[in-house]
Amino acid sequence: MGIRRTTLPGIGTQYDVTTRTGRNLSVVVHQDGRRFLGFYEADDPDACRMSVPLEAEEAAGLARLLDPTPLEAVRTDGIGLVTEQIPVGSRSPYAGRPLGDTRARTLTGASVVAVVRRTSAHPSPGPDFRLAIGDILVAVGTREGVDALAAIVAGS
């Protein structure tokens, strides 16, 4: 499998993937967080046969389906803790608000240990760190606590 990364000035980044069987697809990540999954023929990568727009939470869910235990994840098996990536979706009541407004640790016991925003990571964000649509919260806690935090961030 080959992956080619192309910067699209003013738009974002395109990742072209060619599988071992010769199938071609691309993922375009726009600067505003939008993502598109596209399918194309090898002889004409500009002629997209089909494009599927994905919301941030859909892209995160698809990534978890493709690789439910990513290598970069913190492994906490066997000690009662889990590490989870929680997307801040377009329907989250916390988009544009400080992380402290979630009261994550107080309400759930789970801790947000980092926020990943587009191409940069913000380790140990403080309570005044403003969340944005498309952010991914890296949370550590019990399964129940992390699930409760995901529900809070989603507005459920």
Pick the most confident of 35-49, 80-94, 98-112.
98-112
Q: Average the pLDDT over each of 2-11, 118-127, 137-146 and give the range with the smallest value.
A: 2-11
More confident residue, 54 or 104: 104
Per-residue model confidence as pLDDT tens digits over 128-149: 999 999 999 999 988 888 889 9
Domain ranges of the chain: 2-54, 82-154
Q: Output the pLDDT for position 126.
A: 92
Q: What is the mean pLDDT of the chain?
A: 81
pLDDT of 68 reads 57
CATH fold label, 82-154 = Alpha-Beta Plaits (3.30.70)
For residue 36, give both structure tokens: 């598109």
Mean pLDDT over 71-90 rounds to 68
| 53-71 pLDDT per residue, tens | 877 667 777 776 676 554 3
Average pLDDT over residues 86-105: 92
Is the pLDDT at 107 greater than 90, yes or no?
A: yes
pLDDT at residue 36, rounded to an integer: 84
pLDDT band at residue 43 using 50, 70 and 90 as cut-offs: confident
